[in-house]
Amino acid sequence: MSLAVHSIVVLRPNHRLGNTLLLMPLVQELQERFAHAQITVVSGSGAAPGLFRAYERVCATQYLPPVRPREAGKLLRTLRELRQSSFDLAIDPIVRSRMGRFLLGYVQARERVGFVWGEARRDRVLTHAADPRGAPAHFTQAPIWLLRTAYLGESNGPELAPRPMDLRLSEEERRHGAQRLAATLGSASAVGSTEWHARPKVGLFANATGDKLYPLSWWRQLIGCFSGSHIQFVEIIPEDGRPRLAAEIPGVHTPDLRLLGATLAATSLLVVADGGVMHLAEAAGAPVLGLFRTTEPSQYAPLRAGNAVLRAADLSAETVAARMRELLDGTAGRATG
């Protein structure tokens, strides 16, 4: 690194909410290391602009839509705009993304950073490279390690504490989220009162993709483990707007991800399978109990103090309920189960 860096592009053309949120620690690092640089985040998610709205000098409006016939015009316009821009530094932050590596060679950039693939055709575009075998497993920390090792030459420097994801919610946004949660629970006038804080408010997100999904009967069993308790349960309704547990508990739904994050932050605990909503909750500062059936906590677990994960393919509702009680009582740490 010899010349000044004034413009940076981070290339992560993936449509999943979680994968966009996982970029936040890298963007924080870039903001600190290059205090005057403009940062462009190229995401495959249309939610990216809202997620990064509170980040100064960050433009996340330039995203790549899915490769579908009806989106072809928008995709070509985005690629043309990207090609017409010029960057001092371009970063492909993921160990192996074909579209990310294509874009790394496509953009006009003075320097290009990425992980070595071991394929000459893919690696020759790199001006600064690192072997992925030395990188941290966690998907938020590996891109930071790449930047420090390949570009900043700090491979032998001291280890720094992991950076968490952060939506950078304003106090007004947090207030709005707490009011929304209270209205859902029928206690809108009690926000901030002793009564409001005395009763734990537990969010349940009963949706997930593929094998991450727990059956609805399992979630009903989990609620049943707290029969007669003073806990207030609320369902976080998925993007499709269809509640899964309407017969058991009230639900809250909003397509505004920042408002959803602020609502999650007002809960005492969110119980959720690994996925985008878990990452959104962590980025909002909500206490999280993440359930991992098929994915690796070492790669995706919440990193904020006070959060926890349970790892098992077939967790019983009773096991999860016991962990919830520990967390709500303040007796559990972040250790995985």
Q: Which residue has the higher pLDDT, 150 or 187?
A: 150
Euclidean distance between CA atoms 26 and 143, whole angstroms: 6
Residues in Cβ contact with 296 at an 8 Å cutoff, skipping those fewer than 6 apart:
137
Tell whether the model's pLDDT for residue 11 goes beyond 50.
yes
Other residues' Cβ atoms within 10 Å of the Cβ of residue 35: 8
Summarised one tens digit per residue, pLDDT across range 72-95 is 788 888 889 899 999 999 999 999
The DSSP call for residue 336 is B
Closest residue by Cα to residue 167 from 35, 234, 297, 258? 258
Gap between the Cα atoms of 210 and 275, Å rounded = 11
261 CB-near residues (< 8 Å, 6+ apart): 167, 169, 177, 280, 281, 283, 284, 286
Q: What is the pLDDT of residue 160?
A: 63
Q: How far is CA 250 from CA 136, 204, 319, in A?
A: 40, 10, 24
> pLDDT tens for residues 24-75?
999 999 999 999 999 999 999 989 999 999 999 999 876 777 767 777 788 8
Tell me which residue of 281, 292, 279, 274 sits closest to 337, measured CA to CA: 292
**pTM given for the model:** 0.92
